[in-house]
Chain A
Amino acid sequence: MRDRMHAAGVVARTQLKESLLSPGLYVSLSAGLFIGWLLCADFARAVDSSGFDPRLSGFWSFATRALSGAFGPVFVEKLLTEGPFLAVLAASFAPFFFVLAIGSVFRFGLEKNAGAIELIVYGPADGTSYFIGSFLKDAALSAFALALLTLYFLVLAAVQNLAVGPMFLAALPVLFILALAIFSFGILCSVAAGNAAAALALFLGIGTLFTAMTVGSLSSAGSSVRAAAVTVSAGLQWFSPLYYASLCARAYGGGSAPAYAAGLALLAALTAAVLLGCHLLIRKKGVRA
């Protein structure tokens, strides 16, 4: 176990160094930061004498109307109650997260195809240490991106006198562990699929299914989308990281710290369970494409 973790650490360090040569991560991080600046500046512009009025901003007007239509006005009210940063955090982290997750899945598949992982396995590492290394790299980069975004938002908040409130801070660990859970599903897809394209398609399919289930379940009552989503997600929701993230959000909204912590623990447990599944699968299937 100790050797495996050591090997995973070496793989993670190597992959981190290689990631420094990936333009996609830099560009997506910059894009995320710029989106953050744009939305915060637009939010401040839409504040008048009576408060935040989304009608004064093209983007916020569209976004609030779209979200109100899908999830109801209460959702929008809660999302923007502290200010823009909770919504902006999700929008800013998304580009980096997608590039990182898709890049990791695709790379795993390519290295499997090329026999690179098999080569490592002949040495001191095994398949599990390889994917744990990849997972640790994703975790480290996500933590760095979230830290950078938070730092930038704190600066923007100070400049424009906006508040970075407790809801934003509570969302940070949820978003981080949610990202880890989705990375673990990416690894599962990579281990299960025969090649990089199939792994990517499977990962995007699962991601779309989980997103549709959560969005549908959170939508306003009366919509047929909600009825369908609730039916479909009755059993599948237990496998969806987004479901546990929504549990955390509900617990926080209800003012229950233990339920919030339990939601985080369940999200972490799901991540661990998926990684365990990856370990068992890679032991059975091997690392050959």
Chain B
Amino acid sequence: MRRHAAASLLLLILCARAGADVPLRVEQLIYSVTAYNGSDYSSTFALQTADTIYLLAGTDNLLSVRKTLVYWWPLTAEWKTDTDSLNQSLAGSLELRSPGGSVRTIPLQRATYFSIPSSAGQQWKVLIGPDADREIARADKLSEDYFAAVTDYQKKAQEYDAQVETLGDRISELESQGRDAGEIAARLSGLQRPTAPPAPDAYIEAPEQAQDVFIVNLAPGQYSARLLAPDGRTLEGSDKRIVAYTQRRMGGIGYEVIPSDKWTRPEESKTPASVLYVNGTTDLYLRPFLEQEVNDLFYEKTVSNQSTGNPALYKWVRTEQVTGALSEAARPGKETVTIVEHPFIVAQSTGSGLGYTIAPFDPKTAAPDQSPSMIAFPVSLKSADRIIRLRTLDSRGHPIAGSERQIRIVARPPLLILWALPAFAPVLAMVIVFIARARRNRMKGNLF
């Protein structure tokens, strides 16, 4: 009997443990937010308990109010939504009250967003209603055409491979019989390998299915928001504060610095004041990018409403890479060198040894589907170099303001400890002062 009781208890404990591994789902009214962060659209959500949503002023942001299940995911220490179980978009209109007290109501609209290539990298667009549907249909058509072309290419490639194999076998057969295979060999060399269709480049980020959202584009300031149901009642729990903020400064130049021996650990240099210290053992690859200065907390909350940040600090954030530029490197006492952007390929080392090499990318010798791993300015370092001053030039050869940087190769003199000795100069001065005073007092016949 006791044994049975113990076994039952153990089973109960195990069951309880197994049950505890499933996170508890709670139904909540959340704001789903697709916010423009200056370079990209970030998708996040504001929990019912979150009181504020942060949006970049003067940009189209897509909001919707939903009922869904949320749960705490301890592995990443964040709240997640279970939209497969419940994802109910609530109808109504979003009422926004501005700091001055004026009220604005935003209706739900079918909308989509996407980005297209532009001279500045990419340009984001938000389309609503029939325009959105047309754009989605166009994107679908491009995608379908591409996949049809790929299917056709694969079929032709298979036929080509089969033909090559058959002709190859035939040539071998004829040669083994000592007969002339010239005609077949000529046919084989005349075969044209089909070329893969180019991927559509109309979009960088293609439009997704249109959704019913509130398109919120606000002037800087703090707003109170709430959802009004179709019958005009305010939906309980939908009250939120919206902070619309602007960048403090724009057009800064930052650099991503990739050391050749640590491809996976790039550094960033964000302001002209920031000095890049290195030990000079490897070459560097620099990628200049445009950046904007934003409030740390506001930006982090825009990207993920659950993040935290410091509202007292501003930080530079990358927006897009500077393309088509030149770089100038000046070493003291040497001629200034102009560096041109080059494509590079990162190749994993073969064999048991770990590591990789960064080599110039040559389209002639590269595999057909291979593309460069990065396009960057190579800066070769020598341990004799002490300071390298860099700056980026635009396509017309003019220096870009704020692009100046210093790379310093830190020196480690063998007798660095000797430079600690001057630190004790004040103590030495104290000893001298005290001895001199004691002497003077003795001379005067006084006691020290």
Contacts and interface: CB of A to CB of B under 8 A. Distances in A.
A78 interface: yes
B134 interface: no
Given A71-B310, A221-B310, A253-B314, A49 B425 contact: no
Interface stretch (A160-168, A193-201, A202-210): A160-168
A33 B410 contact: no
Interface in B388-446: 406, 408-413, 416, 419-420, 422-427, 429-430, 433-434, 437
A217 B314 CA distance: 15
Interface string B254-282: 00010111100111001101111111111
A123 interface: no
Given A33-B422, A52-B277, A221 B315 contact: no
Interface centre among A72, A165, A217 (most CB of B within 10 A): A72
Contact of A162 (B277, B296, B425, B429): B277
B410 A160 contact: yes
A83 B411 contact: no
A45 interface: yes
26 contacts: A26-B430, A33-B424, A33-B426, A34-B420, A37-B419, A37-B423, A44-B410, A44-B416, A47-B277, A49-B262, A50-B267, A71-B310, A72-B310, A74-B313, A78-B313, A81-B273, A82-B273, A83-B277, A159-B411, A160-B416, A161-B386, A161-B387, A162-B277, A162-B410, A218-B312, A220-B310
Interface in B189-247: none
A250 B311 CA distance: 12
A243 to B, nearest CB: 11
Contacts of B296: 72, 74
B426 A26 contact: yes
Given A26-B426, A37-B420, A220-B297, 17 more contacts: A33-B422, A33-B424, A37-B419, A44-B411, A47-B410, A50-B257, A50-B265, A74-B310, A83-B275, A161-B411, A163-B408, A167-B273, A221-B309, A253-B313, A253-B314, A254-B249, A255-B249
A49 B408 contact: no
A189 to B, nearest CB: 27
A186 interface: no
A72 B313 contact: yes
A114 to B, nearest CB: 21
B423 A75 contact: no
Interface centre among B271, B276, B282 (most CB of A within 10 A): B271
Nearest to A250: B312
Contacts of B420: 34, 37-38, 41
Contacts of A21: 433-434, 437
B50 to A, nearest CB: 11
Given A160-B412, A253-B314, A36 B277 contact: no
A47 B279 contact: yes
Interface centre among A49, A71, A155 (most CB of B within 10 A): A49
A33 B423 contact: yes
Nearest to B315: A74
Given A82-B275, A161-B387, A75 B408 contact: no
B316 to A, nearest CB: 9
Contacts of B260: 49
Interface residues of A, number: 54
B143 interface: no
A156 B419 contact: yes
A27 B312 contact: no
B87 interface: no
Interface centre among B266, B279, B387 (most CB of A within 10 A): B279
Contact of A29 (B262, B266, B426, B437): B426
Interface string A250-277: 1001110000000000000000000000
Nearest to A71: B310
Interface of B: 248-249, 257, 259-262, 265-267, 270-271, 273-282, 296-297, 308-315, 386-387, 406, 408-413, 416, 419-420, 422-427, 429-430, 433-434, 437
A129 interface: no
Contacts of B309: 72, 74, 220-221
Interface in A233-254: 246, 250, 253-254
Contacts of A219: 310
Contacts of A33: 422-426
Interface centre among B267, B274, B280, B387 (most CB of A within 10 A): B274
A217 B423 contact: no
Interface in A1-57: 20-21, 23, 25-27, 29-30, 33-34, 36-38, 41, 44-45, 47-52
Contact of B426 (A30, A48, A50, A161): A30
Given A51-B278, A219-B310, A221-B309, A41 B416 contact: yes
A58 interface: no
A152 interface: yes
A49 B261 contact: yes
A152 B408 contact: no
A219 B309 CA distance: 9
Contacts of A34: 420, 423-424
A162 B267 contact: no
A25 B427 CA distance: 9
A27 B408 contact: no
B279 A49 contact: yes
Nearest to B248: A254
A218 B411 contact: no
Interface centre among B261, B314, B427 (most CB of A within 10 A): B427
A71 B280 CA distance: 32
A159 B278 CA distance: 15
